[in-house]
């Protein structure tokens, strides 16, 4: 499904699945697939609050992170437990969520806090946000895809990681989207590069 068609389909499904209180939508996909762009567009379209998965990157020593297998990486790169308790659980109950986001420059949590306002619709976007451990809080799951060569080019252009790290990261992503959450497990699959 194309990007614009996906926005329309997601809006229809959100309205259909809207609960009496809060509807949570998980927007997942490989790195540089277009998750953030889709989530931002959907957030504006349905007037939702948004939670960014990158705020919940796990604080861990780099040498320890380098030793993780693909499976361990998929399970631990992001602190889904903290995302669940500090963001999704309060938002699901209609309360604002306040938390310390991850500080990418110093590999720790920021001293400042982020507050995500309570809203009838909450979009959570990022890699691994559709994981089974969060499934009971999610009403609609969206997978954003695009060709591997496009994603790889975008990642290299960002220049925020060495190629060796990107290859380890990619192995964890592939394992997750092959074994844990394959495309047919999602409610909607969006091709961000479809003409």
176-185 tens-digit pLDDT: 999 999 999 9
Pick from 169, 187, 131: which is nearest to 10 by CA? 187
Q: For residue 172, is pLDDT > 90?
A: yes
At 135 the three-state DSSP class reads: helix
pLDDT confidence bin for 77, thresholds 50/70/90? very high
Written as six digits, the tokens of 170 are 């990619």
* pLDDT at position 13 over 80: yes
Measured CA to CA, the distance from residue 149 to residue 139 in angstroms comes to 31
164 vs 80, more confident: 80
Q: Tell me, what's the pLDDT at 108?
A: 96
The whole-number pLDDT of residue 20 equals 65
Q: Which of 133, 137, 99, 140 is nearest to 116 (CA)?
A: 99
Query: DSSP letter at 126?
Result: S
Q: Which domains, from first to last, does the chain contain?
A: 3-191 (3.40.50.300)
pLDDT of residue 81: 98
Placement of tokens 């091709």 in the chain: 191
Q: Which of 55-64, 73-82, 134-143, 185-194 has the lowest mean pLDDT?
A: 185-194
Look at the pTM and tell me if it is higher than 0.85.
Answer: yes
Coil/strand/helix, residue 103: strand
How far apart are the C-alpha atoms of 140 and 18, rounded to whole Å? 10
Q: How far apart are CA 55 and CA 53, in angstroms?
A: 5
Above pLDDT 70, what percent of the chain? 96
Whether 7 and 38 have beta carbons less than 8 Å apart is answered as: yes
User: In 3D, which of 127, 73, 74, 82 has the Cα closest to residue 109?
Assistant: 82
**Phi then psi dihedrals of residue 161, to 5 deg:** -160, 155
Query: If we measure between CA atoms, which residue out of 12, 1, 3, 17 comes closest to residue 139?
Result: 17
Question: pLDDT tens digits for 101-147?
Answer: 999 999 999 999 999 999 999 999 999 999 999 999 999 999 999 99
Confidence (pLDDT) at 40? 96
Instruction: Determine the average pLDDT of the residues in 45-63.
Output: 95
């Amino acid at each position: 499904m194309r990007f614009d068609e996906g926005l329309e389909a997601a809006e229809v499904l959100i309205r259909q699945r809207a609960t009496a209180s809060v509807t949570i939508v998980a927007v997942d996909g490989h790195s540089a697939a277009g998750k953030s762009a889709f989530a931002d567009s959907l957030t504006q379209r349905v007037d939702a609050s948004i939670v960014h998965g990158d705020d919940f990157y796990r604080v861990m020593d780099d040498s320890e992170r380098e030793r993780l297998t693909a499976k361990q990486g998929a399970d631990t790169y992001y602190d889904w437990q903290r995302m669940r308790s500090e963001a999704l659980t309060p938002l699901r109950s209609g309360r604002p969520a306040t938390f310390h986001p991850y500080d990418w420059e110093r590999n720790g949590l920021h001293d400042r806090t982020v507050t995500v306002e309570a809203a009838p619709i909450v979009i959570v976007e990022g890699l691994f946000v559709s994981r089974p451990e969060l499934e009971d809080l999610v009403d609609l799951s969206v997978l954003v895809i695009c060709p591997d060569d496009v994603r790889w080019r975008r990642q290299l252009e960002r220049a925020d990681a060495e190629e060796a790290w990107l290859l380890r990261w990619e192995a964890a992503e592939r394992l997750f989207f092959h074994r844990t959450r394959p495309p047919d497990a999602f409610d909607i699959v969006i091709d961000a590069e479809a003409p």
